[in-house]
Chains A and B, each alone.
Chain A
Amino acid sequence: MELLQTLQQTGLDLFGSAWLPIWTLVKIVLIIAPLMLGVAYLTLAERKVLGFMQIRPGPNRVGWWGLMQPIADGVKLLCKEIIIPTGANKFLFIAAPALALAPALAAWSVIPFGDGLILADVNAGLLFLLAMTSLGVYGIIIAGWASNSKYAFLGALRSAAQIVSYELAMGFALVCVLLAAQSMNLGEIVRGQQSGYGLFGWYFIPLFPMFVVYFIAGVAETNRSPFDLAEGESEIVAGFHVEYSGMGFALFFLAEYANMMLIAILTAVMFLGGWLNPFHGWPLLGALTDAIPGLFWLLGKMSFMLFVFLWFRATFPRYRYDQLMRLGWKVFIPLTLVWVVVVATWMQTPYWLW
């Protein structure tokens, strides 16, 4: 802490009023750099996990146990030629991958990594997150349209309808969380789950149906298997990014994995107690584990949710489109609407223990 204060002071002396933007930029880099590294190794983890679940080794040739595989993939994608199809809208074709990635990264600004360890402590943080995740669909739609390809266009239409439908269920699930926490500030939401009973104080217990709905809607929102109809390689080749090569494709890839990590960390923050110790207040175990920093718990919970993403992919066959729409509109939305009323009523009674 003292080191941080001296750093702040020297910065202020050195740069004057320009120090605040510089310091913010440093903090942004401190979030984005590990995130990008995490994305790179998430792709490796995905291939390894899928490999082990299908009883095969997965990538194991580049580096030790295949650990350099993401680097090799990155270099390959960087060196590839970018092909712009004839009849494509050139400006939008190039802008679309950036439009997909930017909101996925912007949403990370309100994530609390620890008590007070947050880039932008926004009061309406939850709303900001919803807004940012809903913006990601533009990259997909514009990519599909600007490619001047039927497959890409079909993929874009599927994805747009899917994301708009599942956003509603996701929004209602989040309404339950903000009812329980009585705040839209993500830091406050985690603090609301603090109790002497460790993991029994977390919101996944009273809001269990919402926890499930939120995570499944998150899988649908990120176009991940079994809801990856926007890609649907058996029907529409690769969907919206079929015409993209090289870095354009890589940016869509980055956006997808950054969104996955975002959904995973948000599930951890809103339902699994964020940076809190699951054993806090327990006899013996609590005292032993309280010294572990909160970031470790948060990343552990995030990794578990990411593993569930991969598990889903290895387990479930792809949904049919009408089944997908039915699940979103006829199952999730009524269920979440009812649970909003249940939670609101429950909170007025003395039986609300959270």
Chain B
Amino acid sequence: MNIETLFYLFAAVTVFAALRVITARNPLHAVLFLVLAFVSSAGIWLLLEAEFLAIALVLVYVGAVMVLFLFVVMMLDINIEQLRVGFLRWLPVGLLLAAVIGVQMVWVLGAPEIGAGKTPVVHAADYSNTKELGRLIYTDYVYPFELAAVILLVAMVAAIALTLRRRRDAKRQDIGQQVKVRKEDRLRIVSVPSANQAGDAQDVVVSGEHAAD
């Protein structure tokens, strides 16, 4: 099997999965098809010798982001019939958007500098995509990279700040305090003289009953 056959195989699976994402009736199935689309596009990236990007795609999107997606979709009580209302009404808008995206893609990919017909450069066996990517990110593109990181950090802090609120009416536990607890604070060992004879033990039980009365 040569690279071209593999490419068309992965591409066909990607397109099919992407189509099923928007046509599947069950939203959970749609999410799982999105996972399939990610995995098969990671396969295409592998064919381009971009193993770092391919594995990062699987690690970040499939391993973390889609798990949370799945999480949310499972928790939602989605009425599919209700979602389908107004499908025809919004169809023209959707088609227009699709057309715009299609034109943009043809425009960009058809540009002579990029050239969709070009075959990818084949590298030597000791070529490391990871090292190359690291070199570019931390030398030539260090400022855009840091900027992107800071923007993501701001978004993260903002999301946490928006959802973090202390409720006065709810009880909460301070786990730090709980962990700090020592045996001596809670437990008191008292020495109780043991009853040596069976008769004495009997007496203790009986007197205990009297006390309860």
Binding site for B on A (CB under 8 A): 92, 122-124, 127-128, 130-131, 134-135, 137-138, 141-142, 145, 153, 156-157, 160-161, 163-164, 167, 184, 322-323, 326
Contact = CB atoms under 8 A, between A and B. Distances in A.
A127 B56 contact: yes
B44 interface: no
Contacts of A323: 175
Contacts of A123: 51, 128-130
Contacts of A138: 35, 67, 70
Contacts of A122: 51
Interface in B16-61: 28, 32, 35, 51-52, 55-56, 58-59
Interface of B: 28, 32, 35, 51-52, 55-56, 58-59, 62-64, 67-68, 70-71, 74-75, 128-130, 173, 175
B67 A141 contact: yes
A137 B74 contact: no
Given A127-B59, A134-B63, 16 more contacts: A122-B51, A124-B55, A124-B129, A124-B130, A127-B130, A130-B59, A131-B55, A131-B58, A131-B63, A134-B67, A138-B67, A141-B70, A157-B74, A160-B70, A167-B64, A326-B175
A167 B65 CA distance: 13
A164 B70 contact: no
Contacts of A127: 52, 55-56, 59, 130
Interface of B: prevailing SS: helix
A322 B75 CA distance: 20
Contact of B28 (A134, A145, A326): A145
A135 B66 CA distance: 10
Contacts of B51: 122-124
A263 to B, nearest CB: 16
A92 B31 CA distance: 13
Contacts of B64: 134, 164, 167
List the 5 closest A-B pairs by CB distance, nearest first: A134-B63, A131-B59, A131-B58, A127-B55, A131-B55
A15 to B, nearest CB: 16
Contacts of B128: 123
Contacts of A156: 74
B9 to A, nearest CB: 16
Most chain B CB inside 10 Å of its own CB: which residue of A124, A142, A322: A124
A184 B67 contact: no
Given A122-B51, A124-B51, A323-B175, A153 B130 contact: no
B55 A135 contact: no
Nearest to B128: A123
A153 B63 CA distance: 19
A323 B176 CA distance: 10
Most chain A CB inside 10 Å of its own CB: which residue of B51, B62, B63, B68: B63
Contact of B130 (A135, A184, A326): A184
A163 B74 CA distance: 17
Contacts of A135: 58, 62-63
A156 B52 CA distance: 30
B34 to A, nearest CB: 12
Most chain A CB inside 10 Å of its own CB: which residue of B51, B74, B173: B74
Given A123-B128, A153-B74, A160-B71, A128 B55 contact: yes
Contacts of A92: 32
B71 A141 contact: yes
Most chain B CB inside 10 Å of its own CB: which residue of A141, A157, A163: A141
Nearest to A140: B67
B67 A322 contact: no
B67 A137 contact: yes
B46 to A, nearest CB: 10
A145 B74 contact: yes
6 contacts: A124-B51, A137-B67, A138-B35, A156-B74, A157-B71, A164-B68
Contacts of A164: 64, 67-68
A95 to B, nearest CB: 9
Contacts of B67: 134, 137-138, 141, 160, 163-164
Contacts of B56: 127
Contacts of A163: 67
Contacts of B62: 131, 134-135
A26 B70 CA distance: 37
Contacts of A157: 71, 74-75
A323 B177 CA distance: 12
B173 A322 contact: yes
A78 to B, nearest CB: 29
A137 B64 CA distance: 10
A135 B67 CA distance: 9
Contact of B63 (A124, A167, A184, A322): A167
B73 to A, nearest CB: 9
Given A123-B128, A127-B52, A134 B70 contact: no
A123 B52 CA distance: 9
B74 to A, nearest CB: 5
B182 to A, nearest CB: 18
